[in-house]
């Protein structure tokens, strides 16, 4: 089993912290996001050699930061003009049978990662049912930032990542952590490949105006849903943070300082 950490981006909303380091290296209460992630992974029994980091921006700084660890790296050389799915596909040759994909700007407790590790489904997506209070801390108007997420009666996603102005269309929120086993991974790679072909032929993708190079992970997940792949919702209640901007950083550090969430 392999964990792929997507950490190629520049993190412009965290400047000037990210002027000299990639986003995943931003310190949260004294320890970088990526080192906190790796610590949790090791607590769950994952070996360093099974961790693959897709890097790009300031990759040399990240490699130095993690020197002494036996993690591996894959480079998105086009990080300035591409997005998450393109970064993920840079690691395509390293993805066999069973993977967890983690955003590089999130913190999560051991219990959250274990939800993904223990999931028996071909394709699983970790979602937070207690998202609303957290988004209220992060921004004045949660609806300006969140996206749709709908789950059917059997526990599978039917929609993700669409803009909305209605809370009724948001049953939970995606946290940036997914698990794909065998047939699920084969479907993910096939849909990503189809997206690349469509964009090359100027054919629109599923429910987005973005092309293959600019695809978000939620675009890919929606594409999977639309071609009939079942994505199981792994429902949690908090135990994670996203560090996308300074407000996010302050929210996380306040909670850690109060020992409400210790990562």
Domain limits at 232? 2-257
What's the confidence (pLDDT) of residue 140? 83
pLDDT one-digit tens code per residue, 135-194: 999 988 888 888 999 999 999 999 999 998 888 899 999 999 999 999 999 999 999 999
Distance CA 110, CA 41 (A): 7
Q: Which residues have CB under 8 Å from 76's CB, separation 6+?
A: 8, 54, 55, 56, 82, 86, 87, 90
What's the confidence (pLDDT) of residue 261? 55
What's the confidence (pLDDT) of residue 39? 97
**Residue 6, in any domain of the structure:** yes
**Residue 262, in any domain of the structure:** no
**Residue 210, in any domain of the structure:** yes
**Residue 263, in any domain of the structure:** no
What's the confidence (pLDDT) of residue 260? 58
What's the confidence (pLDDT) of residue 263? 52
Of the candidates 150, 157, 87, the one whose C-alpha atom is nearest the C-alpha of residue 121 is 157
CATH of the domain at 128: 3.90.550.10
What are the φ and ψ backbone dihedral angles of 18, each rounded to 5 degrees? -95, 10
- How many structural domains is the chain composed of? 1
Count of alpha carbons within 13 angstroms of residue 241, beta-carbon side: 28
Distance CA 232, CA 187 (A): 14
For residue 197, give the DSSP letter: H
List the beta bridge partners of residue 53. Answer: 5, 73
Tokens of 7: 């950490």
Of the candidates 250, 241, 253, 197, the one whose C-alpha atom is nearest the C-alpha of residue 223 is 197
Cβ 7 vs Cβ 53: under 8 Å:
yes
- Within the chain, which residues score under 50 in pLDDT? none
pTM for the model stands at 0.94
Cβ 21 vs Cβ 38: under 8 Å:
no
What's the confidence (pLDDT) of residue 64? 97
User: What secondary structure, in 3-state letters, does 55-73 show?
Assistant: EECEHHHHHHHCCCCCCEE
């Amino acid at each position: 089993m392999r964990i792929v950490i997507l950490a190629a981006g520049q993190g412009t909303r965290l400047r000037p912290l990210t002027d000299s380091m990639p986003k995943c290296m931003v310190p949260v209460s004294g320890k970088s996001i990526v080192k906190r992630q790796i610590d949790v992974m090791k607590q769950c029994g994952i070996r360093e050699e099974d961790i693959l980091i897709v890097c790009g921006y300031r990759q040399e700084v990240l490699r130095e930061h993690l020197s002494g660890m036996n993690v591996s790296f894959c480079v998105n050389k086009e990080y300035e003009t591409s997005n998450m799915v393109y970064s993920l596909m840079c690691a395509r040759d390293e993805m066999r049978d069973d993977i967890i994909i983690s955003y590089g700007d999130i913190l999560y407790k051991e219990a959250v990662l274990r939800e993904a590790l223990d999931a028996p489904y071909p394709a699983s997506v970790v979602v937070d049912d207690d998202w609303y209070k957290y988004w209220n801390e992060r921004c004045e108007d949660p609806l300006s930032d969140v996206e749709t997420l709908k789950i059917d009666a059997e526990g599978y996603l039917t929609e993700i990542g669409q803009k909305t102005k209605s809370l009724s269309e948001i049953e939970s929120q995606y946290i940036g952590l997914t698990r794909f086993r065998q047939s699920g991974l084969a479907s993910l790679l096939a849909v990503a490949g189809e997206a690349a072909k469509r964009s090359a032929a100027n054919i629109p993708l599923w429910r987005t105006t973005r092309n293959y190079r600019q695809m978000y992970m939620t675009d890919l997940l929606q594409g999977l849903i639309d071609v009939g792949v079942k994505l199981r919702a792994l429902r949690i209640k908090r135990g994670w943070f996203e560090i996308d901007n300074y407000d996010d950083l302050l929210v996380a550090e306040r909670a850690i300082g109060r020992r409400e969430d210790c990562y």
